[in-house]
Amino acid sequence: MTARSKKSRKIPEERGGLWQLALERGVSRRRFLQLLSAGGTAAVLAACTGLPLPTGTLPLADENTAEAPPFSKDPAPFIELGGGNLEARLENMQGLITPSRYFFVRNNSVSLEVDAADWRLTVEGDAVASRLELSYDDILNLPSQTYISYLECSGNQRAMFDLVKGQAAKGTQWKTGAVGNGVWTGAAMRDVLERAGITEEAASVLLIGLDTGSPEEGFRRVMPVEKAMDSDTLLAYALNGEVLPRDHGFPLRALAPGWVGAANVKWLGRIVVSSKQLWTRNNTTSYTLIGDAYPPVGEALGQPLTTQTVKSALALPWPADLAAGEHSIYGFAHSPNGPIAKMEWSSDFGATWNGSTLEELQIQPEFEHLAAALSDNAFRYSWTRFGFTWDAGPGEHTIMTRATDAAGNRQPDEIPFNEKGYLFNQPVPHPIRVT
């Protein structure tokens, strides 16, 4: 399915018998597609028969969470950076959609184990009519939507402040792999806020996770009410057509497309809606641009992070080793402001720039079964895969890439330093050894 093709809402032929069973049991078409996207055949059968989902579909809590392993996925394909962080290797990503097994992990501690049967989401605060408590089934029964969106840590490429600009920033030294592009399914956050009776006085929405690895009890992040009420801001419960993995926030996480990763709170347990601007550690001293170029805002030491920036990276190891000769090189580019319209590459540190091919926005065959569930404009927040041919001669080389989005935003030649190393997006000189 491509960005140019009309979205199909037909039930896939191979699911026809299952759909007939669901129809006979009173399951709506919307609910059928929702269940199919979130949990596959097992989820649909459970809904039709009243049987519980198998434990392999809905992970159950470990009695001793403190001794749980830091990750549920195999860390072998990643670069382990310590502190609950796994950096993805972009060269492992062969298509538009990042398989869950290759999706980066950014944690404050270990990945939590949460029992969906006991979990509840509470919505409260002085800007809602009444306190609301929802179960996992309550969330699943809300209208759903499915779309493709990249998700990126605000510290992605932080190491480049040191490697490229010679000024090290504080924090985990991510190179280019704290980013992935997934198929997300969930309920609109605004549907839940409206059910709680959000008022016209609402100004801030505070999202609080269940993890306790930060100085505050539960990772918390504030977003303005306008972003929380955006129709595309999700309470996500599925990634790539499967129940949200433990590493990525099961049973529920926020998905705020185009915003920094910190806004996409995992293991979400509580939402506080306030009539006032709220301030926490994570929009005053952390996840804030602090430096000479960033005058303080409100109670923050600088400018709190919101949207991401236009960015690109090569899908090559760092540094890369290649044999002499012609190579097909590819990479990924993304922007919070719309699709990528132009890609360029340079092998002379930006003295000259060459055009690059933009691949069609098309999901790879292993995810084709998700096409029927995709919402309108499903590729709006997707990254783009680009490619070019390079005739590599022996020696030490660097290749830089530069993206421009449809709104005309282009990666800048230089960006000012900030203490925590957020939002590095000037073109990165990727080192390549050719023998």
Q: Which percentage of the chain shows pLDDT scores above 90?
A: 79
One domain, residues 218 and 98: yes
- Would you say residue 191 lies in a domain? yes
pLDDT digits (tens, 9 = 90+) for 247-268: 999 999 999 999 999 999 999 9
> pLDDT-based confidence at 4, cuts 50/70/90?
very low
Decide if 185 contacts 373 (C-beta within 8 A): yes
One domain, residues 295 and 398: no
CA distance readout (Å), 131 to 64, 201, 317, 366, 395: 30, 16, 49, 42, 65
Domain boundary among 288, 304, 320: 304
pLDDT of amino acid 108:
83
Indicate the helix (H) or strand (E) that contains 398.
strand 395-405
131 half-sphere exposure, CB direction, 13 A CA radius:
5
* Greater model confidence, 338 or 53: 338
DSSP state of 156: T
* CATH code, domain with 129: 3.90.420.10
* CATH code, domain with 337: 2.60.40.650
CA distance readout (Å), 200 to 270, 297, 374, 380: 20, 24, 32, 29
**Paired tokens of 1:** 């399915």
Backbone angles phi, psi at 250, to 5 degrees: -50, 135
One domain, residues 253 and 339: no
One domain, residues 155 and 276: yes
One domain, residues 153 and 263: yes
CA-CA distance, 18 to 277, in Å (whole number)?
49
Q: Is the pLDDT of residue 3 over 50?
A: no
One domain, residues 156 and 273: yes
pTM of the model: 0.85
DSSP per position, 261-305:
GGGS-SSEEEEEEESS----GGGTTSSEE-BTTB---TTSSSEE-
Structural domain harbouring 423: 311-434
Q: What angle do CA 291, 293, 294 make, to 5 degrees?
A: 70
- Would you say residue 127 lies in a domain? yes
Lowest-confidence range among 36-45, 125-134, 177-186?
Answer: 36-45
pLDDT digits (tens, 9 = 90+) for 271-316: 999 999 999 999 999 999 999 999 999 999 999 999 999 999 999 9
pLDDT digits (tens, 9 = 90+) for 38-87: 555 546 645 554 433 433 344 444 333 344 567 889 999 999 998 889 99
pLDDT of amino acid 99:
97
- Would you say residue 39 lies in a domain? yes
Domains identified in the chain, total number = 3
CA distance readout (Å), 279 to 14, 183, 287, 299: 51, 31, 12, 7
pLDDT of amino acid 283:
97
Q: Where are the alpha helices (DSSP H) in 201-276?
A: 225-228
**Paired tokens of 77:** 């394909």
One domain, residues 100 and 178: yes
One domain, residues 44 and 117: no
* DSSP SS3 for 221: strand
Lowest-confidence range among 23-32, 383-392, 410-419?
Answer: 23-32
One domain, residues 248 and 181: yes
Residue 76 burial by Cβ neighbours in a 10 Å radius (0-12, 13-18, 19+): exposed
Residues 6+ apart with CB under 8 A from 424: 156, 157, 158, 160, 161, 415
CA-CA distance, 391 to 402, in Å (whole number)?
19
Q: Is the pLDDT of residue 381 over 50?
A: yes
Which amino acid is it at 339? P
Q: How far is CA 164 from the centre of its chain?
A: 26
pLDDT of amino acid 31:
65
Backbone angles phi, psi at 330, to 5 degrees: -135, 170
Which amino acid is it at 155? G
pLDDT digits (tens, 9 = 90+) for 209-231: 998 765 667 899 999 999 999 99
One domain, residues 122 and 162: yes
Q: Is the pLDDT of residue 406 over 60?
A: yes
pLDDT digits (tens, 9 = 90+) for 347-372: 999 999 999 999 999 999 999 999 99
- Would you say residue 66 lies in a domain? no
Domain boundary among 287, 304, 321: 304
Domain boundary among 269, 286, 304: 304
> pLDDT-based confidence at 159, cuts 50/70/90?
very high
- Would you say residue 181 lies in a domain? yes
Side by side, which strands form the sheet with 384-392?
311-314, 325-334, 384-392, 357-358
Decide if 159 contacts 174 (C-beta within 8 A): yes
One domain, residues 331 and 396: yes
One domain, residues 94 and 210: yes
pLDDT of amino acid 50:
44
> pLDDT-based confidence at 26, cuts 50/70/90?
low
